[in-house]
Structure 1
């Protein structure tokens, strides 16, 4: 089975549609959405509606920090992450808010643990963006001996960590479209990147495809009309730097 791993859609319907179409063309038989359906982007209602439909068809959907902000916006935004939460909430109907509120923080499928942030404290939204954080995440996940893989979002970049000959984890920078063998005799952790707001200088959307039968992981980049998505953000009256991020991939 091929599982498409999507995360950090951030209310970017254009990027979501492009990744879903690409995953279908690659033969994905199941979808997993690792949180942050909303935040930053101009189409929160449309994205949540689409993901609710996918969940009804069997997709796994997790909660991210922005989904929590939309359900309960902070009284005063103290970070870029929290700005726009009230705007997002106003555009979601009660059913959409109930859907976001009920999402779990983690899920398991086969030998994989899925989580938006880090498995050692999912509710604290740690960024798994270096070997130290990856080791804490992987160690917590592997308290369950059946877990061989951990797939995370939140970071907005694609990376693969594995335990080498020594005790520490090693980081590997994947090449888009090239399958990577991930045999289960080792334990692996991947950050699958962001569908709706890449931050590595490349404007293309990101997702990953896990082939459970072949034990292969492929990181993908998908071109979409990112300039139109940025124009959507500006037309919605959201902060201009949200649009600038889409235009630059930063």
Structure 2
């Protein structure tokens, strides 16, 4: 089975559609959206509708921290409004129908199948939205996930960059730096944990969208970067009246 792993869409419909089209061309058989469908971008309702369609067609959709942020109790929290995500939360909340907000609220935090645990943030405490960004935090997430002996892989998002760690014969995790478009053998006799990057808001100085493709039959993981009309996406952020910073971030990838 070939899984397209997409995370952190952040209301960026341009990038989302480009990644879905790319994944289809790569032979993806199932779509998994790993949370943060909304926040920052100009098309939250359209992205949610697209994800609802994906779920209806047998895909997997998880809840991220931005799905929580747009719920009424978070939007009205003064401390939340001070965060970057909080600056767009009220606007995003108002763009979504009550049915869409309810659907976001009941999305699961994790999904597990085919030796894979999917999660938005860290598997050791999915609801706390911890960042998996180094060997220590990756180890905590992996250790929690492999309490289920069937799990060999953990795939998440949240950190907006692409990374891969594996555990060899000892307890220490090793970091592997992926190259876009290069399939990486990920044999099941090891344990693996990866962050698939952000579709809708890259932050590494490269505006191209990110996602990954996992071939469970061949045990290979490929990280992809996808060019899309990021200038149009930025223009739509401005036209929506959202903070200028979020438009500039799409233009520069930072």
Range into which the TM-score falls when normalised by the shorter chain: over 0.9
Give aligned pairs, total. Answer: 250
TM-score if structure 1 supplies the norm length? 0.98
Distance 1:192 1:74 in 2: 31
Displacement of 1:164 after TM fit?
3.0
1:227 to 223, 227, 231: 231
SS of the residue 2:86 aligns to: coil
**2-structure distance, mates of 1:97, 1:57:** 20
RMSD of aligned alpha carbons: 0.8
- Structure 2: gaps (5+ residues): none
**Any residues of structure 2 matched to 1:1-250 within 5 Å, and which?**
1-72=1-72, 73-76=75-78, 77-250=81-254
Q: Residue 31 of structure 1: SS of its match in structure 2? A: strand
CA contact (8 A) 1:74 1:82 kept: no
Unpaired segments ≥5 residues, structure 1: none
* Separation (CA, whole Å) in 2 of partners of 1:127 and 1:243: 24
Q: Is the 8 A contact 1:44 1:91 kept in 2?
A: yes
In the aligned structure 2, how far is the partner of 1:142 from the partner of 1:150?
9
- C-alpha spacing 1:74/1:136, structure 2 compared with 1 (3 Å): farther
Report if aligned partners of 1:19, 1:207 keep a CA contact under 8 Å in 2.
yes
Offset at 1:98? 1.1
Distance, in Å, in 2 between the alignment partners of 1:106 and 1:224 is 29
Report deviation, 1:167. Answer: 2.2
Partner Cα distance (2:242, 2:168) in 1: 45
> 1:139-186: CA deviations, max 9, x gaps?
000000100000011010000001134421111110000000000000
